[in-house]
Chain A
Amino acid sequence: MRTIVFVGNPNTGKTTLFNTLTKSSEHASNWHGVTVSEKNKEININGQSVCAVDLPGLNSLCAISPEEKISVDAIKNYAYKNDTIFALVCDAGNLNKNLFLAFEFKEVGLPFFIILNMANEIKGDKETLVKTLEKEFLTKCFLVDGRKRKQVKALACEICKISKDVSFDKKSFNFNSNFNFEKMAENRFKNVEKLLENTHIYVPKTEKLNKLLFNPYISIPLFLTIFLGIFWIVFGPAGSFLSGLLEKYLVGGLLESIVAKGYATKPLLGAFLEAVLITGVGSVICFLPQIILLFMLLSLLEDIGLLARFAYTLDAPFRRVGLSGRSVFSILSGFGCTTSSVLITRNLENNRLRVRTALSLPFFGCSAKVPVLLVVASLFFKKYKFLCVFGVYIFSILLCFFILFLTTLGERKHRQPFLMEMPRLRLPSLKKIAIDTKANFFSFFSRTLGTVLLLCVVMFFMQSFDFTFKLVETSGKKSMLETLANFLAPIFSPLGFGFYGVVVALLFGLVAKEMLVSSLALINGVALSGLAASLVSSSSPIFFTAASSLSFLVFCMLFTPCIPSLNMIKAELGRKYAVFCAFFQFFLAYLCSFFTYQLAKGNMIALWILVALLVAIFIYIMLKWRSKRGEHRCYGCTNKFGTCGRKN
C-alpha cells in the first residue's frame, strides 16, 4: 500500500491538508506546534488504497523538542519502507524559511514532492516559482489551497500517479550529515535566497495591524476584553438561552416521554430511567450549548493568529513566574480540556518549563467544570452569575501565578531562550471553525455520554440498594453509597458542605468532572430544572448556604484534575508529578475553600490565621529577595543582559 507522509515546518498546513484529504477532524490551528503526535488514516484514491500520515512540524532533521523527535523518528522509519513518498508541505508565503528543509531532504536523498500550501494567500508570478523549484529539486511541485477538497484530492491522485516512477534506493539515505551544522545552515539559506531571487512572490502586508497588536498597552487590554467577552457569551444570556431551549425540548420533551413509558411498564424501571436519563445524562446535555460556544470562540481566536501575538506580549510577565510565552498555547487549550492541553506542552523544548506549564494547567478550569460552576453560582448570585464564575476563574489564575512566583524565588535564575515565529494574521474560515467545533462537540459528547451513563448506572445501583442487596425503601437501611460516603463526609464539614452526597459527587467528579452536577441532581433526586431549588432547601440531602456555595465553587475550581488528566501527566512527565499534582490540588482546594467559607461566615479566628499565613509568606518573599540581592553577576557575562545567576 502506498503511503503519503505529510512533513514540513510547523504551521505550514500539514494537518489541514491531511484533514481535507482524509475527511478527518484533527485539531489544526494558526500557530506553531499544534500537532504533537503522528496521525494516520487509510483512504481510497481512484480505487487505490493509500495511507496518509500526518507528522508534527519540524524545522530540520536534527530534532530539538520532543514533538520534533517523534517526527524525525517517523521519517527515518518510513524512509526504509517501500512505497513511501514524502509530501513536503511548505507555506507558499514563507518559502525563505521552509525551503531549508527541502534542501535537507535533497541532501539526505529522501523521495519527496513539494506542496506549496496556502497558494491563495500569495500574489505574483506563481508559475515561475513552481518551475524554479522543480528545476532545483528535480521533483514535482504543486500549488494548492489546503482547505479546498477538490484541489487536495486532485493533488493526491497526481502524487499517486507520479510516485510509481520513483525509485527507492534505501542505501542512499544519509541521515548523519550534520557534523558542521552552522556552515551547512549558512549554505542552505544562501541557496534558498539565490533560488528565490528571481521569483517575484509577495504576501499582502498587515504591518499596521501587527504594530497595534505588538503594543502591550493595546494587546493586554484587548486580550482581557476578548476573554471577558468569551465568558460573557458562554456564561451570560446567549449560553443560558440556548441551554434553556435544549432543556425544554430535549429533556422536558423527548427524555420525559421515555421515562413515562418506563413508569407505565414497571415503577423500578421508570425510576432507573429517570435517574439515568433525566437526572444524570440530561444534566450534562443541557450545558452542551455553553460548552460548544466555548469551543467555537477558542477556535476562532486560534484561527485568526492572535494567540501567537498574545504569547509574545505575555512572555515578559510569564517569565517572572518561570513560564514562557509559548506556555500560552497549552494554557488556553486548558480552558477546553486539561488532558489534551498537557499533550500540547510537548512543543516546549525545556523540560523544566514543560513540568511547570503542565502542573499549572488544573488551575485554568476546563469546560467540564462549566455545568457545576453555573449551577452553584446561580443559587445565590443569580443576577451576577457570570461575574461570580468569572471571579472564581480569575482567583484561580491569580493563585496559580502567585504559587509559581513563590516557587521561582528559591531557585537559581533559569534563562529560557524564546524564539517564536509569528503566524500570519488571517480572516477566520467559518467552515474550519464549524469543522473544529463539530469535532470538539462529538469528542466531548462521546467521551462524556459513555462515562456519565455508566457512572449514573453505578450510582443508581449503589444509592438504591444496601449492602445486603435489598432495596433501601423496603429494608430501611442506609444505601451502600451513603454508608461509604459517610466516613469521608466529616472531612468537608469545615468547608460548609459535609454531606455524604457532596463526597459522592466529588469522588465521581474525579472520574469525569461532568459528573459533578449529575451527581448532585441524582443525590437530591431531581432533574436539572429543579436542582437549583433543591440545593437551597434545607430538607434536601445536599443544600448550600451563600457561604458554603462560594466555598464549593472555589473547591470545584481547584480540586484534583480528573483521572484521564492525571494519567496524561503521568505519561508525559512521570508518576511522581501525577501524584504530586493530585495531592497538591486537593490540599490547596481544601485550604482555599476553608478560608472562603470561614471568612464568608465572619469567623474572626480564620481571618487572623489567614493574616498570619500571608505575613509568613511576605517574610519568606522578603528574605529570598534579600539573599538574592547579595548575589553577584558572573564575570563571564559581559553585557547587561547576561545574568546567568551563578554565584561567585
Chain B
Amino acid sequence: MEKISLMQTKAGQYVKIVQIGMLDMRRRFLEMGFVVGTNLTIIKLTKHSALVKRANTIFALDAYSASQIFVEINL
C-alpha cells in the first residue's frame, strides 16, 4: 500500500494513519486521536484545510498539518 500525505487523498476516501510527520503541535494531534493506526474518513479537502471524520467526530485541520499526516488508503 502506498504511503501518501493526507492532502493528497480525495473526499470520501477511507484512510489509515501510518506516520505523523514533524508538526508544531504534535502532542495536541496525538491527544486528539491522530495516532498511528487510526482510521479516518476524508470529508472535504480545500487548498487551505482538510476536514476529516474520526469515530463520529469531525476535525478541521489546516493544510500544512494535514500534509504532515501520512496515510494509506483502505480499499
Contact = CB atoms under 8 A, between A and B. Distances in A.
A125 to B, nearest CB: 16
Contacts, number: 111
Nearest to B66: A641
A189 B33 contact: yes
B58 A422 contact: yes
Contact of B62 (A186, A210, A418): A418
Contacts of B31: 59-60, 62, 100, 185
A312 B51 contact: yes
B64 A420 contact: no
A490 to B, nearest CB: 50
A203 interface: yes
Interface in B28-43: 28-33, 35-38, 43
Contact of B25 (A64, A97, A421): A64
Nearest to B28: A64
A464 B23 CA distance: 65
Given A64-B28, A640-B67, 13 more contacts: A59-B28, A62-B31, A181-B27, A182-B30, A189-B35, A203-B56, A312-B51, A419-B32, A419-B59, A419-B62, A421-B59, A639-B5, A641-B63
A417 B59 CA distance: 13
Interface of B: 5, 7, 20, 23-33, 35-38, 43-44, 46-49, 51, 54-65, 67
Determine the main DSSP class of B at the interface with A: mixed
A189 B59 contact: no
Nearest to B62: A418
B55 A417 contact: no
26 contacts: A59-B31, A62-B31, A94-B56, A96-B33, A96-B54, A96-B56, A96-B57, A100-B31, A186-B35, A189-B33, A189-B35, A203-B56, A312-B49, A316-B49, A415-B64, A416-B62, A417-B23, A417-B24, A419-B29, A419-B32, A421-B59, A422-B57, A639-B67, A640-B67, A641-B7, A641-B67
B58 to A, nearest CB: 4
A415 B67 CA distance: 13
Contacts of B26: 182
Contacts of A100: 31, 33
Contact of B38 (A189, A315, A640): A189
A239 interface: no
A186 B37 contact: yes
B62 A417 contact: yes
B33 to A, nearest CB: 5
Interface-central residue, B27, B58, B63, by most chain A CB under 10 Å:
B58
B30 A185 contact: yes
Contacts of A211: 43-44
A349 interface: yes
A319 B64 CA distance: 13
A116 B33 CA distance: 19
Nearest to B38: A189
